[in-house]
Amino acid sequence: MNTLLLTGYEPFGSYETNPSARIAHALDGETVGEYTIVGRELPVVFDEALPMVINEIDAHAPDSILSTGLMPEREAISVERVGINVRDAGDVPDNAECSPVDTPVDRDGPTAYFATVPIRELVAASKDVGVPARVSNTAGTHLCNNILYATRHYIETNDLSIRSGFVHVPFTHDQVARRDEVSPSMSYGAMERSIRAMLNTLSSDSNVE
């Protein structure tokens, strides 16, 4: 049985909940296709997220890693194409009150890394179960982009045979209901259904040995 590491992020900024963490907790320990899922909640702290992923790699030797996070204002599930070597928190510091501006994720790293999961197949899998999804060409410059880039850099520099990628989820309906502004949202059930379909696709993909 292969192992897949599924990560989500803890709440951050003004957001009291984070559906990505809820999904990771819900699927932890489940079997999806040929995968045993290891679901973990990552800290929204630039210098702490990657060390936790590395610990999970050492403990579980996953074949694939799918990281997830919240991206407000997105209207659909977004499968990210690329992570860039930039940290810029903007007006939302991390949960350790760190606000990097125009700093690299890794000073010795390349400009960018492409995700190595089959992004279009993941989008199709989500659509097949009735959940809107699309390929995204920007993961931002906050913690989500950071873990996409940093995970790929760690895999490359340590010559590991692990596929990795990142998926953004929108607000849930209940998150928007608690806010004054009206924003795009999606049911939590649809999000979990989408991620399960993506995991099944990763499991059955011909690159999984």
Catalytic positions = 80, 144, 168
2, two tokens: 């292969």
Cβ of 29: how many Cβ atoms within 10 Å? 10
Q: Which residues neighbour 142 within 8 Å (Cβ) at sequence distance 6 or greater?
A: 87, 88, 89, 90, 92, 94
Q: Quick check: 197 and 29 in contact, CB under 8 A?
A: no
Rounded Cα–Cα distance for residues 138 and 140 (Å): 5
N residues, the chain? 209
Q: Quick check: 64 and 117 in contact, CB under 8 A?
A: yes
- State which H helix or E strand residue 26 sits in: helix 19-27
- How far from each other are the two terminal CA atoms of the chain, in whole angstroms? 10
**CA 23 to centroid of chain Cα atoms:** 11
